[in-house]
Structure 1
């Protein structure tokens, strides 16, 4: 069996050393998380070892947000080499490419290839409810996202195991909310490829 994300996180934390590992836990406790996510109670973190902290990160934040948080905390405590090593290691986890959060300069095209400005929502955010309720071919979309490196293996397997299309799409959106516009564009292209009538219908409604 190949390495998991948790294995790689454990190794990264073990390589920090005692002082840096303590700084990592302190910064993780002070981190400003996205809406819908909560802090790991410091009572749990204070005495936790590297394996415990890795487990908490995966349990509390799943993937890929747990990876994003870990990279952010490492860089915030000036452990940039550890962050770079983690990025490299994640590329080979279970044969999957790790998700790298989109940088600000990657924010870009909206639904029809038009540039978004200001606070304009991306097509997949604007039509979230309709897409969750009406997408009928979810499996090939998951395959595309796995291939593009937007879904790690564990997340892919989790979403695939859900029974209904609506629940699969709802679970998928837990990951979509952490993506930038460039990644959402890839998601949209997959939607267009596998559910074209629905996307045309939503485009016409938008117009």
Structure 2
């Protein structure tokens, strides 16, 4: 990052939390499906250790986005917003190209899939091919696949898909879903990109 490193941004954000909220953050991080973090690796970790761990297990850009996502899930909206603004002000290096980084993550650090969740649930009518591809990429399990297919309407199926931990809680899952939707529902996705 040109102005501030991912590690320092995350450390500063975590230092804003009370000790009780920091404990909640550690728990939420351990409950996250991906990246997997063991309780042992975070139980005695202070803010700087947690930031270092996040950057180590993710790319720098994804570490910041994951932290924002966890803050949002925990209801720490002020800290999430401050970190989002810090992300906007910085240039985050990524292993992905600049083009692919912007296709997933919008200004403010919000993932495209999260921002357009409602419209995607309402717009997508053929869910099975999406499930087939997500299953092939190991983003969902056979149990997930069967559960989602058992729903009677496409809206219910899409809603159930968005509630899966691998989609709701992981950047990788959201990125995979984005790619699958670009392949199968390009008109819908292009329309949402224009609205962004």
TM-score scaled by length of structure 2: 0.52
- Counterparts of 1:127-146 in structure 2, within 5 Å, are none
The CA RMSD measured in Å over matched residues stands at 3.9
**Could you say if the C-alpha distance between residues 43 and 68 of structure 1 is closer, same or farther in structure 2, counting changes exceeding 3 Å?**
same
Structure with greater Cα Rg: 1
Provide the secondary structure at the position in 1 that maps to 2:80: helix
Distance 2:180 2:67 in 1: 20
- Give the helix-richer structure, 1 or 2: 2
Query: Do residues 48 (structure 1) and 45 (structure 2) align?
Result: yes
Q: Measure how far apart 1:182 and its partner are.
A: 8.1
Q: Measure how far apart 1:92 and its partner are.
A: 1.1
Q: Do 1:6 and 1:54's aligned partners in 2 also have CA atoms closer than 8 Å? A: yes
Q: Do 1:57 and 1:66's aligned partners in 2 also have CA atoms closer than 8 Å? A: yes
Aligned length: 135
Provide the secondary structure at the position in 1 that maps to 2:129: coil
Query: Do residues 66 (structure 1) and 63 (structure 2) align?
Result: yes
Q: Measure how far apart 1:115 and its partner are.
A: 6.1
Runs of 4+ in 1 over 2 A off after TM superposition: 61-69, 75-78, 94-100, 105-108, 114-117, 119-122, 175-185
**Could you say if the C-alpha distance between residues 98 and 3 of structure 1 is closer, same or farther in structure 2, counting changes exceeding 3 Å?**
farther
2:20 aligns with 19
1:105 aligns with 118
Distance 1:95 1:19 in 2: 30
Unaligned stretches of 5+ in structure 1?
A: 109-113, 129-174, 190-207
**Could you say if the C-alpha distance between residues 83 and 119 of structure 1 is closer, same or farther in structure 2, counting changes exceeding 3 Å?**
farther
Distance 1:73 1:28 in 2: 7
